Amino acid sequence: MERLNNIDIQKVQSTEAQIKSDPSIAKKMQVIEGEWVLEESSTQFVSKIIYEGGETEFKVDNPTFMGGSGSLPGPMHYCFYGLASCYTGTFATMASMLGIKLKKLTAKVEADVNFSRVFGIGDDPVIEEVRVILHVESDAPKEKIKEAEKLALERCPVVFTLRNPVKLVPKIEIA
């Protein structure tokens, strides 16, 4: 098993070949379910996340200005973590597939968040831009690293979701 930058290259190549022969296997449903904690607690929302190798629990507590106690990550932390981890992982995969050996790869996500809309005080956009900064250390030529960046920007699922309108289908079930 060949691994580069903690990426199983043979597995990625095998998956790519399988999808080429049967495009239907590229589609996988993602489901997150959770519950709002109604009694006083430092956790406001909890979700059991089930994944291929097991399960874990995510807990959220809003910042104090949003009525939480600020004792856990808030929803925006998880949102930006998802972007940072997905984009960084896609970049690492693209770099590995191009044969680029990385010495270090870190990510930083920043955004100026305007909460006036949340409080019904304005209609300014909540976020006007999200900045993602990858710090790449490698002996590879800059052109090769820029190629990995281009591929990552084209192929990262979270980047795609931010760049393209995605149909939101809200539904409320009243008991």
Q: pLDDT digits over 126-169, tens only?
A: 999 999 999 999 999 999 999 999 999 999 999 999 999 999 99
CB 148 within 8 A of CB 95: yes
Tell me, what CATH number does 118's domain have? 3.30.300.20
> Is 156 within the bounds of a domain?
yes
Is the per-residue pLDDT at 1 higher than 80? no
> Is 30 within the bounds of a domain?
no
Spacing of C-alpha 2 from chain mean position: 26
> Is 53 within the bounds of a domain?
no
Structure tokens at 31: 């489901």
> Is 12 within the bounds of a domain?
no
State how many domains the chain has.
1
Q: How confident is the model at residue 99 (pLDDT cuts 50, 70, 90)?
A: very high
Q: pLDDT digits over 30-51, tens only?
A: 999 999 999 999 999 999 999 9
Q: Could you list the residue range(s) of the whole structural domain that residue 152 is in?
A: 74-163
> Is 27 within the bounds of a domain?
no
Q: What is the mean pLDDT of the chain?
A: 97
> Is 133 within the bounds of a domain?
yes
Buried b (16+ CB within 10 A) or exposed e, 102-122: beebebebebeeeeeeeeeee
What's the pLDDT score for residue 79?
96
Q: pLDDT digits over 12-27, tens only?
A: 999 999 999 999 999 9
> Is 48 within the bounds of a domain?
no
> Is 113 within the bounds of a domain?
yes
